[in-house]
Amino acid sequence: AAFWGTMFLGESIRCLHGIAVLCAVVGAFLVSKPDVLLGLRQPEDGVPWLGYILSLLAGTFAGATFIAARKSQGLSPSLLNWSLTMQQGTVLWLISLSGFVEDVPLS
């Protein structure tokens, strides 16, 4: 979000922003099995590259969502909600059609 704010809103990155970004990166590194990432131990089921890539994309798009919300202050909340719902529904529908996810029985 700090990167997007600088790029699209013209905000400056202060020392506090840099500390927050650094803490977020260190925290993400610590919860993602650093011994595997550093090559100190081999993962049991292989390296989950898709999960790593999707988590980076999720963070990037979450920041972009915050910036979009700040840029669209004059729009109706109903319109913003509808837009978000349609986008998420489309992505989830495409994921279900892609075969990446197995269906689980509801009962």
* pLDDT tens by residue, 34-52: 676 677 777 677 767 787 7
Give yes or no for residue 86 having a pLDDT over 90: yes
Of 8, 28, 7, residue with least CA distance to 72:
8
Q: What is the pLDDT of residue 37?
A: 67
Global pTM reads 0.54
